Amino acid sequence: MIFALDAMGGDNAPQAVVQGALEALSDSPDSLELVLVGNENRIKADLPTPLPDRLSLVNSSQTVGMNDRASNVIKAKPDSSIVRGVRLVKDGKVDGFISAGNTGAIMTASLLILGRIPGVRRPALGAYIPTVKGGKIICDVGTNPDAKPYNLLQFAIMASHYIEQIEGCRDPRIGLINIGVEPGK
């Protein structure tokens, strides 16, 4: 498996992302490869030389900040680490993209570049939580504050398929939780 990592997203980037990538490679099977996407000069400052096996870089000249407008990122910052990372997935160069950056920008870029699963009306973020008795997934984790009952049903179906594939769990239990305080919840 090859995963692209947004080296410029999240707290203490790129240093924290680089450190996490190096640890992941040392603790993972040889089948895992990582691609760090971001400002190559800043990333290299935190990397040993020569580059470790199974690690490569893709340079991007722009960074998406937490205050950037998600709906405008593809046009305003087409060479950002988020847009470049999602395009790597679209082009089949990596199997997935991981970012701790601007969630709205990641969702928007993914939706506009990758599209939706046929029949799915709205994408959702899923948070996988490993446990001693097998993992759990929370889907949707806040990106759809105005979800309709039909959307919730689709989120449940997508999460159940995910947990069946990842955990091998047949007929997983599904529940509805609400942790929001906005009016109407």
% of the chain residues with pLDDT over 70: 95
Q: Where are the alpha helices (H) located in the chain, listed in sequence order?
A: 15-27, 40-44, 73-76, 81-90, 103-114, 149-167
Please state the rounded mean pLDDT for residues 132-152.
84
Helix (H, G, I), strand (E, B), or coil: what is residue 87? helix
Per-residue pLDDT tens digits for 14-71? 999 999 999 999 999 899 999 999 999 999 999 998 999 999 999 999 999 999 999 9
Helix (H, G, I), strand (E, B), or coil: what is residue 96? strand
Prediction pTM value: 0.85
For the CA atoms of 16, 64, 151, 164, what is the dihedral angle to 10 degrees? -30
